[in-house]
Amino acid sequence: MTNLQPVRGTHDLLFDDLRRHRLIEATAFDLAARYGFVEIATPIFEFTDVFARTLGDTSDIVTKEMYTFETKGGESITLRPEGTAGVARAFISGGLAQMTPLKLFYRGPMFRHERPQKGRQRQFQQIGVELLGVASPQGDVEVIALAEHILKDLRLTGVTTLEINSLGDTESRAAYRDALVQFLGARKTALSEESRERLARNPLRILDSKDPGDQAAVKDAPAFTDFLNMASQDFFKTVQDGLAALGIGFKVNPALVRGLDYYCHTAFEFTTEALGAQGTVLAGGRYDGLIQQMGGPPTPGVGWAAGVERLAMLLPELTPAHRPIAVIPISDDEVTAAQSLTHTLRRAGLAADLGYGGNMGKRMKRADKINAIVAVILGADEVREHAVTVRNLDTGDQVKVPEADLVRHLAAYR
């Protein structure tokens, strides 16, 4: 027997769930365009190296979460777990380096093999932006402002908080890294086995760990902010001043980190209390070293990605969907006339629905089910008189309208 369950961690979307997704994507796309971002669509799979090399071989994504398979040609392919690596790959392979500054928006499915729970799927949807070729802190402010604008238009600023931190430049990060290794080296036994391994290879990632023991051990660790050199402090201050000047509220969270080497300066997240453990709805940061590390020309970058499912769960009630017109023939004799009338209404730009069968009662029930705003009823009299009966389904009021006037009459219901 065929297993007809959706694969664990995947979902079918329809009705209001899908409307929520589309609303979020459309809002983000429209606002991104207003900020000068153009859409890029990269493939949903890439050579495995694209992710393995950019995300680092100690990240959770690479060590545990990737959907990797071998093609018939013997190449290793991975379903994209996130959007930045593919965009960076396209930037390099498509010769886009000539076009900086470049502002890119993307949307689409991502795939991670992790334990499904509320707000955590194996196939999920992201929207995101990348601003490439801008080294100045105004770039950070702009992408954060766009994120905030999207959340505001979705009426989610009340339930989300912007947290920011600075990871500093290379020099500051090296100084911090030394201090952290010293601090955690003295507490090695409290760390998970995985984090003991990270201590040598990528200690910053330990700050990001979800292991409760690790989290307790790093609780009193030195803070990044205390190790920022002058240039990094200035950068961070300019970002904060820029946000304040735009009236965007934020909280500095010294524990907010991105554990990968190419991340620097600003790290930020919009978080919520409303989704339990899956509290981060949008996450981003500056990644000045990424493009170069992938083999491209040195190109600064800053961007973010947001999980559409998590945003969808936070959305307030949707406004009801557009209400159609129901065309209802009283008997089978009027079906042809009704079909032709429905066609005319659709040509005129109106949403019209023609029930397929059953008696008048059954057709009225269908009109109710699709939440029609008005019924256009055709009986033998109407057909003879070249007229229709229009019934307002909310009030029950009805009038006879000459067919020639119908489109004009229905404009009130558009």
Chain residues binding ligand ATP by CB under 6 A are 82, 112, 114, 119-121, 124, 126, 278, 280-283, 305-307, 309-310
Our measurement of the distance from residue 153's CA atom to the centroid of its chain's CA atoms, rounded to an integer in Å, reads: 14
Min CB(121)–ligand ATP separation in Å: 4
Of 276 and 297, the one with the shorter C-beta distance to ligand ATP is 276
Give me the phi and psi of 341, to 5 degrees please. -65, -40
Contact 84, 303 (CB under 8 A): yes
What's the rounded Cα separation, in Å, for the pair 194 and 365? 61
Provide the token pair at 324.
């159609």
Of 302 and 306, the one with the shorter C-beta distance to ligand ATP is 306
Provide the token pair at 241.
């001043």
Of 62 and 102, the one with the shorter C-beta distance to ligand ATP is 62
Our measurement of the distance from residue 304's CA atom to the centroid of its chain's CA atoms, rounded to an integer in Å, reads: 10
Provide the token pair at 151.
């959340």
* Residue 104 β-bridge partners: 38, 130
Min CB(312)–ligand ATP separation in Å: 10
Contact 147, 101 (CB under 8 A): no
Name the residue whose CB lies closest to ligand ATP: 307
Sheet holding 38-39, edge to edge: 38-39, 102-111, 123-132, 301-307, 280-286, 264-271, 161-166, 251-252
Contact 263, 249 (CB under 8 A): no
Min CB(368)–ligand ATP separation in Å: 36
Of 242 and 307, the one with the shorter C-beta distance to ligand ATP is 307
Provide the token pair at 98.
């000539």
Min CB(99)–ligand ATP separation in Å: 26
Of 119 and 168, the one with the shorter C-beta distance to ligand ATP is 119
Of 235 and 304, the one with the shorter C-beta distance to ligand ATP is 304
Min CB(309)–ligand ATP separation in Å: 5
Min CB(144)–ligand ATP separation in Å: 14
Q: Which residue matches tokens 């076009």?
A: 99
Of 85 and 377, the one with the shorter C-beta distance to ligand ATP is 85
Min CB(59)–ligand ATP separation in Å: 9
Largest Cα span, the chain: 94
25: amino acid identity, one letter: E
Min CB(15)–ligand ATP separation in Å: 20
* Residue 304 β-bridge partners: 129, 284
Strands (E), 72-175: 76-79, 102-111, 123-132, 161-166
Of 82 and 334, the one with the shorter C-beta distance to ligand ATP is 82
